[in-house]
A and B are shown apart, each in its own frame.
Chain A
């Protein structure tokens, strides 16, 4: 499901227009981004947690050329699904 389908489905469910829904989602995502920059995590009940994690720098070797690269440290956004949902998916059961 791509973004367009997703927004359309969301619009249908909430009663807002597609355009409006898109802008509301955008502002939500933007707000989440602002918080991520401050190392805040976003916890959504029954869904999961968005969290910023720091990855240390490391030396990477290109297996085909043997060339070594120093990869700088970085901050990445991590998502950890809610345990119940995770288990459900793990067991392969839909719903």
Chain B
């Protein structure tokens, strides 16, 4: 490459192809170029098929500036040898770049964009920033709307509204319903004489109940946690009434055998009572109770999708959620998750890879190690569907 070829080499080719003497060959080559030179001097133009055209052109006088002194100088007209390659030779030489064609640039096209291929990368970054900021705005919106919704049931406590979906409201409502019935507490006291044997005989039942309570506690706990997480300012208010509701509920439910058991439990743990009450109401097939339970269950079904969120706070607060495996790539030597993330998902996405593959952020990847690329979806999108 970048080697030099001399007339000897050319002569060698002639010797090989035409089987002529070395001396004759080199003489022929020398004659060839000498003749070009000589003819050019005489005719000012020589065309050689396949090679190109040699010309001597006259350059007119022109003014210039001496780069050292800054003085103006006159460059006198002179002759100049030019060479224009033959079309065939031109194409041959340019063969490696022949696939490129002159492209007309549209008015809007920026020169930098057209020349550098890099701008590809920054643009996704901008998108991401926009995306991640958007959900935040939505969060605020959702927050506000919920705040607006909630005061409504609280303000008119006397009114009995049709059952609504939100569990809190249901609880509140049941509270309203039960409040007038509190006098029944006295009855409960009377009945409490009897229940002791019942408790013993229902040992197994009680065990089952405890499990049920535990599950429900968990479900409601998650739900409350979720709601509190979303709008930390609101949850306090509804909670208090719900406790009341529990009490009154328990009071009301007393006629049943199991009520006494629940009662004792309620003494033990107030918080559990909430759930117990739910369970209780369920048993009694009270409509409110059933509905109140349905809601947390439904939300519980969606939760598993977000198990990745639980593993990493960045995923929880990030703009995307993991839906499943998209592709599996093999790490190259010297790769890390950040680089792979930048390459395949965009900047700032490595946390999804870390969580999804169970690797730490600084994990050193060995060449060929398989990295699962999660399929991610904007959380925003899903919210809209809901």
Q: For B100, list chain A residues within 8 Å (CB).
A: 57, 72-74
Q: Is the CB of A6 within 8 A of B47?
A: yes
Q: Is the CB of B35 within 8 A of A74?
A: no
In terms of DSSP, what is the predominant structure of the interface of chain A? mixed
Interface residues of A in 47-73 (CB under 8 A from B): 47-48, 52, 57, 59-60, 67-73
B105 in the interface (beta carbon within 8 A): yes
Smallest Cβ distance from A41 to chain B, in angstroms?
Answer: 6
Interface residues of B, CB < 8 Å — how many?
60
A19 in the interface (beta carbon within 8 A): no
* Contact flags B19-56 to A (C-beta < 8 A → 1, else 0): 00000000111011111110101110111111110101
| Distance in angstroms between the alpha carbons of A24 and B48 in the assembled complex | 12
Interface residues on A, range: 35 or more
| Distance in angstroms between the alpha carbons of A7 and B143 in the assembled complex | 91
Given the contacts A47-B36, A75-B96, A92-B78, A27 and B17 also touching, CB distance less than 8 Å? yes
Q: Is the CB of B92 within 8 A of A1?
A: no
B126 in the interface (beta carbon within 8 A): no
Q: Is the CB of B104 within 8 A of A25?
A: no
Q: Is the CB of B50 within 8 A of A30?
A: yes
Q: For A94, list chain B residues within 8 Å (CB).
A: 41-42
Contact of B35 among A9, A28, A30, A77 (CB under 8 A): A9
Q: For B45, list chain A residues within 8 Å (CB).
A: 1
Q: Chain A: residues with CB nearer than 8 A to chain B?
A: 1-3, 5-6, 9-10, 13-14, 16, 22, 24-33, 35-48, 52, 57, 59-60, 67-79, 81, 85-86, 89-92, 94-95
Q: Which 7 A-B pairs have the closest CB atoms?
A: A72-B100, A79-B83, A29-B50, A68-B105, A89-B79, A3-B49, A77-B85
Q: Chain B: residues with CB nearer than 8 A to chain A?
A: 1-7, 10, 13-14, 17-18, 27-29, 31-37, 39, 41-43, 45-52, 54, 56, 78-81, 83, 85, 89-90, 92-97, 100-105, 109, 111, 114-115
